[in-house]
Each structure stands twice: as structure tokens, then as C-alpha cells.
Homo-oligomer: A and B are copies of this chain.
Amino acid sequence: MSRSHIDVTEQVDNPACPVTEVLDRVAGKWAIGILVAAAKGPVRFTELERGIEGISRRMLTLNLRKLEREGLLVRTVYPTVPPRVEYECTEMALELNETLLALVDWARLHSGDIACAHATYDAAQAQDQEAAPSTRSVPLSA
């Protein structure tokens, strides 16, 4: 790469580039949770289903397939009765997991600030509401 510094802007902002494409997939609602859960070692389907609060079986399957297709998870089927399937992070996924954990750390570190920002923003909106009710469809007090 001949660029002296990292100018990823043009890369990221181009939806056709592989970076954005990949990021879109990891960006899903459940992907991070699954990846983090699988980072600690092989995990069974049901373990994930119970471990990830709120996910449906369908969504779990879908995400698992997607991540497997991305090459982030390896699916291993043990031909036993009853069937046993384990999902394991690939090396690539473990690397990604490092970054993901950094992301999580960031989120935890600033969750307070963000909650505060929400409150501030919402309060400001409420102010604007009563300050400029011009677009109100129903008159205030007839």
C-alpha cells in the first residue's frame, strides 16, 4: 500500500468495497454476542441458544450460517445420537475478537456518558417541542 498514512475513509465510504461488505455482516444484532461466546472454545448449539438471552432459534441458526460462511466459525457435526454440533472460532475470528472486546470495553467505559447524552438530547427535544409547536397538527388549546 503506497499511502503514507491510513486513509480508510474512501475505503469505508464506498459500499462496494470488501471492508464495508464484511463489516455489515459482523454488524448484525447477534453476531458479536455469538462470536464472543464462541471465542472461549467450541460451543454447542443449545449452549448458545440458552446463553444468548433473547435470541430465537431461527436467528441463531441464521447467524451461525452466516458466520460460518464468512469463515469465522467452523461447524463440526458429530454423527452421534442424539446429534451433536459444535461451533468454534477460526483463527481469523479470534483476531477479530480482540477488536470486538476493545469495542465492548469502550462501550462499557462510556455507557454512562452515553446515557447522559441521551437524557440531554431528549430533554432538548422536549424543549424544542414546546418552544416551536408550529408544525403541530392539532392546536394546543383550541
For the complex formed, measure the closest distance between the CB of A131 and the CB atoms of chain B, giving whole angstroms: 15
A138 beta carbon closer than 8 Å to chain B: no
Is there an interface contact between B32 and A114, defined as CB atoms closer than 8 Å? no
Asked if A9 meets B40 with Cβ closer than 8 Å, knowing A27-B27, A28-B27, the reply is yes
Chain A interface residue bracket vs B: 35 or more
| A115 is an interface residue with CB less than 8 A from chain B | yes
User: CB-defined interface of A100-131 with B at 8 Å, one 1/0 digit per residue?
Assistant: 01111111101101111110111000000000
Stoichiometry, copies per complex: 2
CA distance A127 to B102 in the complex (A): 39
Residues of chain A at the chain B interface (Cβ within 8 Å): 6, 8-9, 11-16, 18-20, 22-24, 26-29, 32-33, 36-37, 40, 51-54, 68-71, 92, 95-96, 99, 101-108, 110-111, 113-118, 120-122
Closest 10 CB pairs of A and B: A71-B117, A18-B111, A27-B27, A22-B107, A69-B121, A19-B107, A15-B54, A13-B52, A99-B102, A13-B33
